């Protein structure tokens, strides 16, 4: 009888050891699969103006876009620059999967024109490097970007200015 009890106790101890190992492995697996993705545009600063530029409609900010704004440039070579932060509050690195500018609409002296004299660019603040598709924003990192817009013509109003910036 004592031998049967020892066998049962040994089997129960082996079963407990297997259960403990299974619980530890499950907990580790759940922890390593708990990837948090949280990238967004944060706070667009007041624009820096070069020359006489009016914001006839201020930009709207969402998680992944700056949109629906309109600008009036009064003189040749006037420009405007908006800086904003892109924040990665997640625990995984993220890369730019979409970087799109909508086609702007230009009006010169109230006549719609092609926007051949409009130049805009998105760069990293500090380095001046152009923001590109597949650029990486590391987990926990914040980068400041500058959206630069310039017109080489007089009396031009520019609308349909929309920037989409998505990460994956």
- pLDDT tens for each residue of 30-65: 455 678 889 999 999 999 999 999 999 999 999 999
| pLDDT surpasses 50 at 27 | no
Two tokens, residue 166: 């998505």
pLDDT digits (tens, 9 = 90+) for 70-121: 999 999 999 999 999 999 999 999 999 999 999 999 999 889 988 999 998 9
Q: Where are the domains of the chain?
A: 1-34, 39-167
Is residue 124 predicted with pLDDT exceeding 90?
yes
Burial class (CB in 10 A: 0-12, 13-18, 19+), 121: middle
Is residue 17's pLDDT more than 70?
no
Instruction: Give the predicted TM-score (pTM) of the model.
Output: 0.78
Torsion angle of the four alpha carbons 141, 46, 58, 77, in this order, in degrees rounded to the nearest 10: -110
Cα-based distances in Å from 65 to 26, 69, 125, 165: 39, 11, 18, 6
């Amino acid at each position: 009888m004592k031998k049967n009890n020892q066998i049962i106790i040994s089997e129960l101890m082996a079963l407990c050891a297997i259960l403990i190992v299974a619980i530890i492995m499950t907990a580790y697996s759940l922890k390593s699969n708990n990837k948090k993705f949280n990238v967004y545009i944060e706070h667009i600063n007041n624009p820096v103006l070069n020359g006489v530029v009016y914001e006839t409609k201020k930009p709207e900010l969402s998680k992944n876009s700056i949109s629906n704004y309109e600008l009036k440039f009064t003189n040749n070579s006037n420009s405007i620059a908006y800086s904003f932060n892109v924040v990665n509050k997640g625990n995984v690195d993220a890369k730019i999967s979409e970087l799109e500018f909508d086609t702007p609409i230009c009006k010169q002296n109230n006549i719609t024109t092609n926007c051949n004299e409009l130049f805009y660019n998105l760069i990293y603040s500090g380095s001046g490097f152009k923001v590109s598709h597949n650029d990486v924003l590391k987990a926990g990192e914040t980068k400041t970007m500058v959206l630069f817009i310039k017109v080489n013509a007089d009396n031009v109003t520019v609308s349909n200015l929309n920037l989409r910036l998505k990460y994956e």
